Amino acid sequence: MGWTDERVDTLKKLWQDGLSASQIAKQLGGVTRNAVIGKVHRLGLSGRAIPSKPARPVFKAPRPQRAAAAAPSAPRRIAEPVEAEAAPAPAPVRYVDEAPGSATVLTLGAHMCKWPIGDPSSDGFTFCGRRASDSPYCTEHARVAYQPAQSKKRAGGSDLARSLRRYI
């Protein structure tokens, strides 16, 4: 349906009254919201005396309150790597005491250990903060973070038979 002079006058009046483009499209019938917006721009009606009002009031549900922070959990233990039988085992990962660190996100410097300690969503979350070596971690945490590559063990006959049983 085309834009007649009568429809254009109705569009101008409804636009000045503050109706939205979709409300105008419904009243005019036979046009889409985008067609109304395009016509408004071609007519140069971008300014309004009254801003458009939503059809229904906007209601935002209140956000649920955050759960209270739990007591700090027990220190975490890093899992030990699986050792190969033929290759000499590297030094096992020792237990790292995860006492609260001395650095927070705001106090963390360039040459400080950036090993996270605790739960990031809790208030007691800190970083190690000790002097870092060439990596982002202190020497103790670097040993945990950077494990030496494990050598692959050669598959024996029993391993081959076990893997073939999966496919038979």
Summarised one tens digit per residue, pLDDT across range 130-167 is: 888 788 888 888 888 888 777 666 656 677 777 777 77
Instruction: Tell whether the model's pLDDT for residue 3 goes beyond 60.
Output: yes
For residues 20-44, give the mean pLDDT.
91
Average pLDDT, the chain: 76
| The pTM of the whole model exceeds 0.85 | no
Q: Residue 80: what pLDDT? A: 64
Q: Residue 117: what pLDDT? A: 84
Instruction: Tell whether the model's pLDDT for residue 34 goes beyond 90.
Output: yes
What is the C-alpha to C-alpha distance for residues 15 and 47, in angstroms, rounded to an integer?
Answer: 9
Summarised one tens digit per residue, pLDDT across range 87-121 is: 555 555 454 555 656 778 788 888 888 888 888 88
Summarised one tens digit per residue, pLDDT across range 7-29 is: 999 998 998 888 889 999 999 98
Q: What are phi and psi of 7, to 5 degrees?
A: -70, -35
For residues 42-61, give the mean pLDDT.
68
